[in-house]
Structure 1
Amino acid sequence: MLDKSLPYLNIIMKRKAGMSIPYSLLPNEFSFTLYRDGDEVKWAEIETSVGEFQYVDEAINYFRNEYLTYPDEIRERVIFIKDSAGQYIATITAWWNYTQDRRNPSIHWLAVKPEYQGLGLSKPLVYKCLEVLLKTEGDNEVYLHTQTWSYKAIGLYLKTGFELLKTESFGTYLNDFDKAETILRDRLKDLF
């Protein structure tokens, strides 16, 4: 869940090209699946459950505007985890952002429904996303934008090879590292 008691500050992270992608097993009762037509509702439900959107309809509209305009791309880039009953319980997107004319591979929208958090799903999800980016974008630096509200995810990203960028950015994102550093040091003591 997002910690909205903190100030919202933009954080930019990068994983260097050429780094290996460790294999990380999902627990047996879970499996990966890729987007199929209509899965934007499942995506929206997951993202709303973690507080990224207030309403499912708002999340559906976002998905339609940002991703459904690329129907072939979403079928190989929007990743879900399902439980043994077939419920969609987590998601991540292997996407890109343009920085002027440069296309930057990037991770979008990691989310695990609250009742499934703490079960070891996020790390395999990040690694699966990195595998998809390697396949679709080649061996390049991978960026992501996050925020102080997601400091637990920042800890996960650090453990999966991403580094915090102090000034650099990508796409149109701001980088508020200078304002966020104290908050991150306080919340992620063992990683700084």
Structure 2
Amino acid sequence: MLDKSIPYHEIWMTRLKNEPVPSVRLPEGFRFSYYQKGDMSEWAAIEASVLEFDNAEEGLAYFEQAFAPFEEELAHQMLFIEDEAGRKVATCTAWWKDVDGQRLPLFHWLAVKPEAQRRGLAGALVSKATALLQELEPGKDIYLHTQTWSYEAIRLYERFGYQLIAENINGSKNESYQKAMEIIEAQNQRE
């Protein structure tokens, strides 16, 4: 869940191309699935549950604008984890971002419902989505956009080879980088 009690600053991370991806198995009772037509409400509910959006309706509006035009891609790039009852409890997308006419791989929108957290689901998603990006976009570094509110997730991403960078995805200087690093360091020292 996002920690909105601390100041927000955006951060970019990158993972060097073709590095081996640590494999993580899902805990018993969970399974991966891919987006199917109609899963937009599930995605929005998961993202709202971790406070990415104030409510699921905001999540749906974002989905309509950012993802709905790419339904064919979603079917093999948007991942979910389902529990034994078939309820979707986590999601992540192996996506891309066009930057100056270049398509860059983007690890995107990781979220695990609060009641399913601390079971290894996020690590399994990071592993699977990263490996999927390597398959879909071979020979390219992978990017990940995050924020200070996700300082706990940053530690997870680092375990999978993602590194904090002082630039934005387009190579420009991230003016928030130094302040973000101070906030993350302070949070890490508190724990």
**TM-score with structure 2 setting the length:** 0.94
Alignment match, 2:9: 9
Residue 126 in structure 1 maps to residue 126 in structure 2 = yes
Alignment match, 2:169: 170
Alpha-carbon displacement from aligned partner over 1:9-62 (angstroms, at most 9, x marks no partner): 001100001200121100011100000000000000000000000121110111
Q: 1:169 to 1:27 in 2, by over 3 A?
A: same
Contact preservation (8 Å) 2:40, 2:63: yes
Contact preservation (8 Å) 1:6, 1:149: yes
SS of the equivalent of 1:7 reads coil
Q: 1:130 to 1:81 in 2, by over 3 A?
A: same
SS of the equivalent of 1:187 reads helix
C-alpha separation in 1, matches of 2:135 and 2:4: 35
How far is 1:173 from its partner?
9.0
How far is 1:139 from its partner?
3.0
Taking every aligned residue pair, what percent have the same amino acid on both sides? 42
- RMSD over aligned CA atoms reads 1.7
Q: 1:75 to 1:119 in 2, by over 3 A?
A: same
C-alpha separation in 1, matches of 2:155 and 2:17: 20
Q: 1:131 to 1:156 in 2, by over 3 A?
A: same
Pairwise mapping of residues 40-55 of structure 1 onto structure 2 (< 5 A)? 40-55=40-55
4+ aligned runs moved over 3 Å, structure 1: 171-174
Contact preservation (8 Å) 1:98, 1:170: no
Alignment-mate amino acid for residue 170 of structure 1: I
Contact preservation (8 Å) 2:35, 2:76: yes
Alignment match, 1:94: 94
Alignment match, 1:110: 110
Alignment match, 2:35: 35
> Any unmatched runs of 5+ in structure 1?
none
Residue 71 in structure 1 maps to residue 71 in structure 2 = yes
Alpha-carbon displacement from aligned partner over 1:93-120 (angstroms, at most 9, x marks no partner): 1101122112110011000000111111
Q: 1:170 to 1:88 in 2, by over 3 A?
A: same
Alignment match, 1:85: 85
Alignment-mate amino acid for residue 30 of structure 2: F
C-alpha separation in 2, matches of 1:109 and 1:161: 18
C-alpha separation in 2, matches of 1:172 and 1:87: 39
Aligned residues: 189
C-alpha separation in 2, matches of 1:94 and 1:59: 18
Contact preservation (8 Å) 1:99, 1:172: no
SS of the equivalent of 1:106 reads strand
**TM-score with structure 1 setting the length:** 0.94
